[in-house]
Amino acid sequence: MPTYRFQTSIRAPLEQVYEHVTGFTDGGPANLKALAEKHGELLEQDEEVYVFKGASEDDPTWRCTYDHPRQRVMRAHESKWADRIDIFEAADDDSTLWTVEWEPKASGFRSYIQLVGYHIRGKNHLFASVVIPVVTYFRDRTTTRHRTMSRRNRQRRQ
């Protein structure tokens, strides 16, 4: 069965990228408000497994498992939606390699029809709605910090 995958390097530490993408932090109780903003209404929780109902009627119920800061697995419960797996790896240059995989539930010929549709139409939409906002968030934070530091240095020199 084919899987759909994006992989990108983000210039930010592993912990920060993981927490921004998933809404899940390490240490202490989970921030349920942040998780609800990312996934929808929390229906139940059992240790590191959380079940969320998406915001709209079309959204599935997600069963999310967190392995901080390495992985998040989102399984679409009783739905034909693809399951999503986010994998986070620290790189040598203090950046994070983020891999997003979707595992469609279709099988046989239908899975290959979906694969063709993904390559023709869906890939750009998914990249723009999932990956670009995260890359932009960290790029803008770095740029803003750099600008602030430059302004401070200019003021000190005067």
pLDDT (0 to 100) of residue 64: 92
CB half-sphere exposure, 138, CA atoms < 13 A: 22
pLDDT (0 to 100) of residue 134: 93
- 58 or 144: which leads in pLDDT: 58
Q: Residue 151 above 70 pLDDT?
A: no
d(CA 139, CA 11): 8
For 4-157, CATH number out of 1.10.10.10, 3.30.530.20, 3.40.50.2020, 3.30.300.30 equals 3.30.530.20
Coil, strand or helix: which one is 1? coil
The model's pLDDT over 46-99, given as tens digits with 9 standing for 90+, comes to 888 999 998 777 888 999 999 989 999 999 988 778 899 999 999 988 899 999
pLDDT (0 to 100) of residue 104: 84
pLDDT (0 to 100) of residue 57: 79
pLDDT (0 to 100) of residue 74: 94
pLDDT (0 to 100) of residue 56: 78
Per-residue b or e along 52-64, where b marks 16 or more CB atoms closer than 10 Å to that residue's CB = bbbeeeeebbbbb
pLDDT (0 to 100) of residue 152: 52
- 85 or 116: which leads in pLDDT: 85
Q: Can you give the pTM of this predicted structure?
A: 0.80
pLDDT (0 to 100) of residue 142: 63
The model's pLDDT over 3-38, given as tens digits with 9 standing for 90+, comes to 788 899 999 999 999 999 988 887 767 888 888 888
Q: Would you list the domain boundaries of the chain?
A: 4-157
pLDDT (0 to 100) of residue 114: 75
pLDDT (0 to 100) of residue 63: 94
Sign of the CA dihedral 78, 55, 35, 67?
positive
Q: Residue 144 above 60 pLDDT?
A: no
